[in-house]
Amino acid sequence: MSSAYRAVTGHYLDDARPWQVDVEASSPDLYVLPVTAAVGAPGLRRELVHAWAGTQYTTIIAPSAYVASSASLAGGCIVAPHSVVSSFVRLGRHVVVNPASTIGHGTDIGDYVTISPGVHVAGRCVLGHGVFLGIGAVVSSGVSVGSGTILGAGAVLLTDAEPDSVYLGIPARRVRASEDWLRVI
Ligand SMILES: CC(C)(COP(=O)(O)OP(=O)(O)OC[C@H]1O[C@@H](n2cnc3c(N)ncnc32)[C@H](O)[C@@H]1OP(=O)(O)O)[C@@H](O)C(=O)NCCC(=O)NCCS
């Protein structure tokens, strides 16, 4: 990872880590560096990306991840170690695929989606912009999840989910509306 720059606050700056840049130093040089946003909550990630408008966002794929050659990834995505992005999957911008998660063939994923660790999304699913899938969640084959919806940790979603909602449990049920994209995990 030493080739990727990491923006950190002054508190975390370390001379032994030359790839760090100070997020609080408003140097114009920062805006020409290839960066990505690694914040887990979709709402906060979107906010940071908007705050850094004009920045070049790069996509990072861990060496131990498998990404099919037919998959397409837009800018600013992160595919973490031991995760699998299968054939003909499409990832929108700033999608985070956390460790040991799998995305089945032909699944379409919108911008700013967060796939938590150990999540399994079956084939031909559709995840709208800003969807958050909690740790260990499962989305069954061909299921669509509306934009901004949160699927709780360990939930198993068997049927389509409405937008801007929270779904929990097995099988997952809608428990309430979510006012905005998840900002805090
Ligand atoms: C879905 C979630 C966002 C809801 O958070 P919240 O709105 O703060 O919910 P609360 O913790 O206040 O819990 C509200 C109720 O839902 C229940 N609940 C919360 N999460 C649940 C889950 N995943 N499955 C089943 N029930 C759950 C709580 O037990 C509580 O029930 P009660 O009212 O009977 O006591 C959160 O619980 C969750 O699953 N987060 C995922 C975290 C994660 O995956 N992190 C990895 C990041 S990489």
Query: What is the pLDDT averaged over residues 8-32?
Result: 73
Rounded to the nearest whole angstrom, what is the distance from the C-alpha of residue 152 to the centroid of ligand 1?
6
Q: State the CATH architecture for 60-177.
A: 3 Solenoid (2.160)
Domain locations along the chain: 6-35, 60-177
Q: Which residue's C-alpha comes closest to atom 29 of ligand 1?
A: 168
Q: Is the pLDDT of residue 78 over 50?
A: yes
Confidence of residue 28 (pLDDT cuts 50, 70, 90): low
Residues whose CB is less than 8 angstroms from the CB of residue 51 and which lie 6 or more positions away in sequence, other chains included: none
- Percent of the chain whose pLDDT exceeds 70: 88
Atom of ligand 1 nearest to the CA of 154: 23
Mean pLDDT is lowest, of 51-65, 96-110, 136-150, for 51-65
Tell me the best of 139, 168, 180 to mutate to test the pocket of ligand 1, counting ligand atoms within 8 Å of each CB and taking the most. Answer: 168
Confidence of residue 141 (pLDDT cuts 50, 70, 90): very high
- Degrees (nearest 5) of the Cα angle 11, 15, 20? 65
> How many angstroms separate the CA atoms of 144 and 107, rounded?
10
pTM metric for this prediction: 0.88
Q: Which residue's C-alpha comes closest to atom 4 of ligand 1?
A: 152
Q: Which residues pair with 120 in a beta bridge?
A: 102, 138
> How many angstroms separate the CA atoms of 102 and 123, rounded?
10
DSSP state of 43: H
Q: Is the pLDDT of residue 173 over 50?
A: yes
Atom of ligand 1 nearest to the CA of 114: 48
Confidence of residue 2 (pLDDT cuts 50, 70, 90): very low
With a Cβ cut-off of 6 Å, ligand 1 is lined by 40, 98, 116-117, 134-135, 150, 152-155, 166, 168-169, 185
Q: What is the mean pLDDT of the chain?
A: 90
Atom of ligand 1 nearest to the CA of 175: 16
**How is residue 127 written in tokens?**
């995840």
Q: Which residues pair with 91 in a beta bridge?
A: 73, 109
- The per-residue pLDDT for 5 is 65
Q: Is the pLDDT of residue 48 over 60?
A: yes
CA R_g for the chain = 17
98, 80 Cβ separation under 8 angstroms: yes
> How many angstroms separate the CA atoms of 34 and 6, rounded?
10
9, 24 Cβ separation under 8 angstroms: yes
